[in-house]
Amino acid sequence: MKWHGTRRPAGALLALAAAGCLLVGGCGAGSDGGSKASDASYDRGGDGSAPLPAPDRGSGGRYDGERDEGERDSREVAPDPDHLSTFALDVDTASYGYARRTLAEGRLPDPSTVRPEEFVNSFRQDYERPDGDGFTVTVDGARTEEEDWSLVRVGLATRAADPDGERPPAALTFVIDISGSMAEPGRLDLAQDSLATMTDQLRDDDSVAVVTFSDEAETVLPMTRLGGNRGEVHDAVDSLEPTDSTNLGAGVETGYETAVEGLREGATNRVVLVSDALANTGDTDADAILERIAESRREHGITLFGVGVGSDYGDALMEKLADEGDGHTVYVSGEEDAREVFCEQLPRNIELTARDAKAQVAFDPETVAEFRLVGYDNRRVADEDFRDDRVDGGEVGPGHTVTALYAVRTRPGADGHLATATVRWLDPDSRTPHEETGDLEADGLAGSVWSARRGLTVTATAAYFADALRSFDHRYSALPGAPGLGELSERADDLADRTEDEDIRGLAEAIRAANRLD
C-alpha cells in the first residue's frame, strides 16, 4: 500500500535493573482516558456473554480488485472483509534504549534495530487498572493531519504491583557474558554492580545462581538461597573477569541446566541472560540455541529474559532469543538510569498474572476502510489462533502495561462503532482462559493527536520517532500525518515542558539528536 505521509531519509545496570524490574515483577504504568473495558470475561465453554471478535477471514493485505489465485498482498493493511489484527502481548523496551545510546554517540541506529512497539512501550501510561488478576482494556484515538487517517491506541494493564505484598519466591539464574568484548566500560562492570544491588534488594527466601560464559560456560554459583548467604553471592559476582570469545549458546544451555537443577516448585524460575550478544563461537543461531533448551522451557516453564549491554550490541540475536524463549528484552546504557529503575520502580512481585496473553482487535468494516498495526512484526499471531491456547502468547506480571498503536483510515463521514479490542490470557496456576474487551466509537476520536490526552500524544510521538528512524529503508513507509524530525522535535520539547516528565525530556533529546544527524 502507498502511504501519503511525508517521507524522510533518516540519514548492565539499566538492563539488570530493568531486568529485575520486569523479572521480579514489572515496571509499567496505564490510561488517561478513552473507552474502558467491559467487565465481561470469557471462559471456554462459558455462556458466551462477552462480545467476541469477528471470525477470521484471512491474513491481511489491502484488496484493490481481482486477485490472481494464490496472490497475496502485505499483511500490514487489512482488506474488507478481513478486519482482524492479532498479536502476542510484549513489553520489550530494548530497541528504544539502544537507539538512545546510539544517538548519544553521534550515530543513527540501523533501521533493522528500530522496533516501534518497543519505543511506544518505553513510556509510562496511566491506564485504569483491574482490582484483581487479569487486564483492563482501554481503546482511544485521535485524528492525524492526513484526511480520514487516525491513530488508534489499544492499552492493556494488569493490577498494580505491591512492593510489600506477598509473592512467590524467585529462583533466578543469571547467565553472564565474560568474553573479551565485555571488558568495555558499561558492560561487565555495570552487570556486576547491578547484580550486587539486586542481591541486597531480593528477599531471604529468593534464590540466585550465577553462570558465566566466554569460550566455555561454567556454573560459578549453584542455586543458592539468599537468607544467610548474601556474602557468598557477592563474592561470586565480584570474582567475574572478562576473558576470551563469546560462546553464547553454551552459556544459555548451561544456564538452563543450572536452572533445572535448582528448580523450585511454586517459585518464579527464570534465566537472565546478560550479554552484548556478539556471539562468535559455538552456536550463533537463535533457533539452534533454543532447540537445545526446548525441553527445559516447555516442561518446566522457565522463561528467558535478555539484558543487552554495550555500544556494539547483537540486537537481532538477543531479541529473537527472548521472543522465542517466552521472555523479554531490555537494554542497559548507564548506571543512573539503572539505579532509578531498579531502586525506585522495581516492584517486589515475582508472580505472573497472565500466561500466553494475546490481543485481537476487530475493526468495524462499516466505518474502517483499512488499518495497519504499528510494529509487532515478530509478535503477530494468525487470527484463527487467538483462542487456540496451545499457541504461545506473552507472559505478563503485575504492574505491566502493554500498548499497541494502529494507523486507521475511516470511511468518509463514518459514524458509530469503530473497533473492539479483546485480550485473552490463561490463569498462571489453573490455566483457565479469560477474556476482557474494550470498544471505541468514531465520535470518540480526538480532533488531533497533538491535542489529545497526554498518554496518546506521547505514544504518537514515540511512534513517529521510530518511523522516522527507519523510514529511509524502502521496506518501511511513513505513518499518516508524520511530521518531519524538525517539527517532531519541537512538539516533543513542548510536550516535555508541559508534562515536566524526565522520560519525555529524554525522548525529546533523542529526537533532537536524530534531527542533527539526519
Instruction: List the pLDDT tens digit at each of the 518 positions of the chain.
Output: 334 333 333 334 444 444 444 444 444 443 344 443 333 322 223 333 333 444 333 333 332 333 333 333 333 455 444 799 999 997 788 899 999 999 999 999 999 999 999 999 999 999 999 988 899 999 999 999 999 999 999 999 999 877 667 778 889 999 999 999 899 888 888 888 888 888 888 889 999 999 999 999 999 999 999 999 999 999 999 999 998 888 999 999 999 999 999 999 888 888 888 888 888 787 778 888 878 777 777 788 788 888 888 888 888 888 888 777 677 788 878 776 666 545 544 434 467 889 899 999 999 999 999 999 999 988 899 999 999 999 988 888 888 899 999 999 999 999 999 999 999 999 988 899 999 999 999 999 999 999 999 999 999 999 999 999 998 665 666 799 999 999 999 999 999 999 999 999 999 999 999 999 97
Q: How is residue 8 written as a grid cell?
A: 524522510
Three-class SS of residue 399?
Answer: coil
Name the residue with cell 471456554.
Answer: 44
Cα(374)–Cα(150) distance, integer angstroms: 12
Cα(208)–Cα(200) distance, integer angstroms = 12
Instruction: Report pLDDT for 474.
Output: 54
Q: What is the DSSP string of 104-124?
A: HTT-PPPGGG--HHHHHTTS-
d(CA 8, CA 3): 13
24 near 347, Cβ under 8 Å?
yes
Q: Which residues contact 104 (CB under 8 A, 6 or more apart)?
A: 333, 510, 513
Q: HSE (CB half, 13 Å, CA atoms) of 60?
A: 20
> What pLDDT does 99 receive?
95
> Can you tell me which residue has the cell 568495555?
184
Q: 518511523: which residue's cell?
A: 467
- Among 149, 73, 156, residue whose Cα is nearest residue 407: 149
